Amino acid sequence: MKIKEIKVFVCSPGRNFVTVKIITDAGIHGIGDATLNGREMAVVSYLEEHVAPCLIGRNAHDIEDIWQYLYKGVYWRKGPVNMAAVAAIDMALWDIKGKAAGLPVYQLLGGKSRQGVTLYAHASGEDIKDTLDKTEELINQGFKAVRLQSAVPGLNVTYGVLGDKKDYYELQGNRPFPPEEAWSTQKYFNMIVDLFAQARERFGNDVHLLHDVHSRLTPIESARLGKLLEPYNLMFLEDASIAENQDSYKVIRQHTTTPLAIGETYNTIWDCKDLIQNQLIDYLRAAATHAGGITALRRMADFASIYNVKTAPHGAPDLSPVCFAAHMHLNIWAPNFGIQEFVGLGNEQLKQIFKHQIKVEQGMAYVSDAPGLGIEFDEEEASKYPYKRSYLPVSRLEDGTVWNW
């Protein structure tokens, strides 16, 4: 079964998505997600100019060989643009193989390790009360795990929250230039412990609570935060510090027993190798779209399992439903799966473009048994929503210094 054609689509039904469609001479096609928020067109160019021409005529069943060819053969390995392109090709090939076999992808990986996938939802508020009210709404919907974010008093902004009451995620698709946000570590510390103290008092200990620092703290500040939050038994503290220097997490780990999660910006297993094998983290947050697809994430999961590290794939709204479908198949299979980030199944426009049968009930997601990834892409519908340049925010300290992101 030969690769006959590779198409690349960019659409913006609220935010930008890059979708790859591989068509074979057997009439079977597969789709993959190549979205890279704020750098979408760089991936499109790389796919169209450098990847697609090299794959025409190759056997679509040779997923492993094609992955190695695209990773090792390029010489300039790794990097977000390269790996997003590799990921999309990889997902599409798994989709094709599943359709050819008449089986869902999770069966090709080895079958189910569980019946459903546990999700955690987001509660982001303008203040602590607003955050906790939204948390209660999610708990009432059946979610057993909720990520809490609250605006920092005096700044009226923090990750996941905008002080002007506009929807944070909706604005991801309407930022022609990177917005700039003020940050103060001291003001953040004045708020954060109170947020979780009130949450535990209000909701008890049965619900899992999580928090995303989004790499705004230094390692020693993160260590202090983890220690302060120990009484509130977080499921994990995400992106406590940036880990370009993986040794940074040694500082955090030696001071706190709060579980740590990181990985959404990682592109290969090498980005997290030391963190995993030295048991400096508890959850790996790598995403299939940004880390080389299903083939790569399966290896990461197997490697992590040796060191008691669980998977918790990134699930932000700037990853398309194709990526979410890929995660569902990985999650239902991986013995060391922990939890899946969840921000909903998208707006009505998105649902018309990406059609799937994933069900969400009582804080759990259930994968479709349709062959392949179980998701289809409507080209005609997607053409109604052209690309719209948009960027993530940049953080600055109150004195104007560009800060960690």
Report residue 144 CA to chain centroid gap.
19
- Taking only Cα atoms into account, the Rg of the chain, rounded to an integer number of angstroms, comes to 21
What is the number of other CB atoms lying within 10 angstroms of the CB of residue 27?
8
**Phi/psi-derived region of residue 365, left when phi > 0, alpha when psi is between -120 and 50, beta in every other case:** beta
SS (H, E, C) 196-211: HHHHHHHHCCCCEEEE
64-78 core/surface letters (b: 16 or more CB in 10 A; e: else): eebbebbbeebeeeb
What is the number of other CB atoms lying within 10 angstroms of the CB of residue 401?
9
Residues forming a β-bridge with 372:
104
Specify whether the CB–CB gap between 319 and 289 falls below 8 A.
Answer: yes
Catalytic residue chosen out of the listed positions 214, 327, 329, 356: 214
* 266 included as an active-site residue: no
* 159 included as an active-site residue: yes
- Angstrom distance (rounded) from CA 264 to CA 288: 10
Catalytic residue chosen out of the listed positions 71, 159, 188, 266: 159
Report residue 269 CA to chain centroid gap.
15
Sign of the CA dihedral running 36, 41, 42, 44: positive
Nearest to 341 by CA among 286, 270, 272: 286
Active-site amino acid positions: 159, 214
